Chain A
Amino acid sequence: MADAKVIPFDDDRSRAGGGAVQRPQRRRGAGSRLKGEPAVVREVQPLPGRPIKQDDVPVTHEEPEAPEGPQKSQDGGLERRIAGGLAFLRKRLTGDYEVDDFGYDAELTDQVLMSLLRPVYEKYFRVEVKGIENIPSEGGALIVANHSGTLPLDGLMMQVAVHDHHPAGRHLRLLAADLVFMLPVVNELARKAGHTLACAEDAGRLLSRGELVGVMPEGFKGIGKPFGERYKLQRFGRGGFVSTALRQGTPIIPCSIVGAEEIYPMIGNAKTLARLLGFPYFPVTPTFPWLGPLGAIPLPTKWTIQFGEPIPTDGYPPEAAEDPMLMFNLTDQVREQIQHTLYKLLVQRRSVFF
């Protein structure tokens, strides 16, 4: 692993060797690193080899991201990260940070929660994102996606996809079921990550503030459906999301997620146990609950998230939001577009895992 990562580093050195301006800067960078290293070695005496390796990993890791300025990641990279980390720590310890009315902690989400999800996103599910340009750079928009996978990992992956890939660095505000806000720890993290309760008031308030809102109208019907019904969209609730978007005049962006349906192949549902625990369903998969916590590891499927063409809603008169026929038609249009894209992506997919 470490070997593979050193290659771009050497590659960079040979490229940077051509530029006379970059050379001294690089050397200065290496010098400062040398100064830092002995200190570390002194600190961690019993393992003299390891700190150097650890030192190397983040540096080489940063290089492919910023090949234009190798001196940047060399010179102050680590120190800046430490300084940034300490500044972050100071702010957290003294409570000197801000959250919005919904409890969204932008700083924590950017620096901690997203970094925790990113390895799952990049390495485990190897998510491929398509059509990110369909999300507007500013103003409210409602992203409507299919829901599956027993645990709402698809929502979180969609959040990382928007956060990491959208050129304007937009944040997705997900609407979650009330169960999320009843569970301890989960509710706290959900609020801090910018999620809020799936209700018309909250959705409307977020959209009117120009936020990007993500909703999965299938709800528990979608996420808790058996494996045999994978990629078959369930009913889209009562279509409340359409009237909310229409009232705010924000576009609806259909989103199709392929891969999430196979992470936990649900072959059964222990309904009595679910009722006992107060959950909407209790999944039984080939591995869960038989293997205990080990069985709760999702299958490493390959994911594709496709954002579709926006459906505008600003052409309708304000009273249209009260018209049930129009709501059903628009809901069906969104649903069909997602279903259609799902089938198309499934045909293109080579295998579930690659």
Chain B
Amino acid sequence: MTSTIFHGLLPLIVLGAAIVIVMLQIAWRRHAGITQGLALLALIMAMVALSPSWALGHVEATPLFVVDGLSRLISLVLLLGALVTLLLTDRWLRWQNLESGEFTLLLLLATLGTLVMVHAQHAASFILGLELLGVSVYTLIAYPQRHGTSVEGGLKYLVLSSASTGMLLFGMALIYAATGALAFVEVGKQLADADTVLTSAATVLVVAGVAFKLSLVPFHMWTPDVYEGAPTPVTGFLATASKVALIAVIIRWFAATGLGDGSVVNTALSSLAIASMVIGNVLALYQDNLKRLLAYSSIAHMGYLLIALVIFGGSSTGDLAVQAAVWYLLAYTVATLAAFAALTLVAGGGNEAPVRQDLAGLLWRRPILGLLFMVALLSLAGVPLTAGFMGKFYLVTVSVTAQAWYLLAALVFGSAVSVFYYLRLIYTLVSKDDAASTVQLEVPWLSGVAVAGLLVGILMLGVLPGGVAALLSRIL
């Protein structure tokens, strides 16, 4: 392999090597501190390894992988997300009396899976990354084996995820049958002359498989159960990293094949988007269980994001649409991670099913956590001066420019409805309730670092979006 390919794929190589080292360390002697330290180091080094490749531009690293601006940016986001999750699980595992070695290992494996997905330009590498992520996540979800709910969540996710992978694979097989190619770019070239029945059926199957992972309606039913059953830091990772990686793949797919051009496929995707925005928000309305509420809200957010992707696939405002999609992705990731981080630290000891009442007066009892949660909720609701507002602003601009009125209507409806349940939570955060629950409120310093980073991130993106916006327009 040439040196450019080596430098391009350096983060993946570093992470892979780190995984092997951690495995050996666990086998030699179990020590939670060392394992976590190694993992932290590995993630930081992987992020550092991104820098030599910035100057390289677009690199075709084997027919399976490509390294370009998009992959570097998303890799950075994914590694940061994994870092935050790791920082949060720091003491959480000890509170739960769980072995931390395998957890850390699985988290690293899952991250590697997401990185592979982001760099994929061929069906094989895509599936490889997808499954690497998936299998690691199954175990992560079911990690606390004492809880029946975790196992239930893990099994549900496993069955449904495998089913959707099956659909995805079948779809890819049909595409292969129609075009004879599996690399995204090759497929794009051949797609126009291929047999339409096969390709449309194939696209539907692929979309179904991907829609499952993105929890779009009607493939969303696993989301609340799995989010509730999984340990909270894992839910945070699941809600963000897997979706981020998948969106990156979709962007690459659309860029290569322009598949959204086909009007019927566009209609199908638009229907998924509208259904997700409407049903996701409606389901979240009276939800008291916080993890379920965040699950439903993430369904809605994926619906919003899909608007940008639909418009990217099918119209002339392509550049702005891609930027809007990535912007929204960033805003969503930071806000959701922040919300789950706050939940992890609030739930802390034994409460893995936090309800709204547990948050009562959090802003007064534990100001930093309360503030983090409040800012995260405001960002999810799209209030100005937060990252979420910029994301929504981009989405509205893109839909107006592309004249996608139904999508815009669903966006407005969804946002309006969502304000209700977000504000209800904020109100609970602020209300002074002396009969508050007995949650463990110690915040370990490493988690504190993660919290501070997230808070700064949300506000920076909202107040000073210029730098990131410029970066995006350069890359995309």
Please say whether chains A and B are actual partners in one complex: no
